[in-house]
Amino acid sequence: MSEPDLKSLIIGVGNLYRNDDAVGILIVRKLNDMASDRVSIIEQSGEGTSLMNAWKGYDRVCIVDAVSSGSPVGSIHCMDASREPVPSKFFSCSTHNFGVAESIELARTLGQLPRQLLLYGVEGGNFQHGEILSTEVEQAMESVAGEISQYVLST
């Protein structure tokens, strides 16, 4: 399969009712116009087995989620999860015991990772109940959406 024929999936992870935790879902909603026969876009809660099932059959996957690593709010983290382990501390804001980091590492162990797996994390500050993004997180959304567009459309 040539590079331009890669089947891509963009997964937005989060919870719309936990303030900054909504950022992954809101970013993929900005990218919805990219959906095509080569690019699928879905929203997920971040439950690990659902993520592993979602990326089956895709060559190139991009996951975007809120993270809590201690960096300044609005910081953007990007890692090639198909080549390097994912620090589980980044996803400590998840309500799942088996979430994004754990699903990626289990899939790596089982040989079930997509060929390319890019992981974006936007540093959140407020994960309490509510529907308002931090100003810094809201500002980071455009940048992340642009980077994901370039990644998916690149050959």
Q: What is the domain range of residue 101?
A: 3-153
The pLDDT score that the predictor gives to residue 98 is 66
Average pLDDT over residues 37-48: 87
| pLDDT interval class at 154 (50, 70, 90) | confident
Q: What pLDDT was estimated at residue 1?
A: 40
Q: What is the CATH number of the domain that holds 58?
A: 3.40.50.1450
Q: What is the pLDDT of residues 51-99, one digit of tens each?
A: 889 999 999 999 999 998 889 999 999 999 989 888 766 655 544 456 7
Domain count, the chain: 1
- The answer, as to whether pTM is greater than 0.85, is yes
The pLDDT of residue 4 is 54
DSSP string, 49-98: HHHHHHTTT-SEEEEEEEE-SSSPTT-EEEEETTTSPPPGGGGTT-S-SS
Q: What is the DSSP code (8-state) at residue 34?
A: G
Compare 49 and 120 and report the one with higher pLDDT.
120
pLDDT on residue 2? 42
| Residues sharing a CB contact under 8 Å with residue 133, sequence separation 6 or more, in sequence order | 19, 20, 22, 23, 26, 141
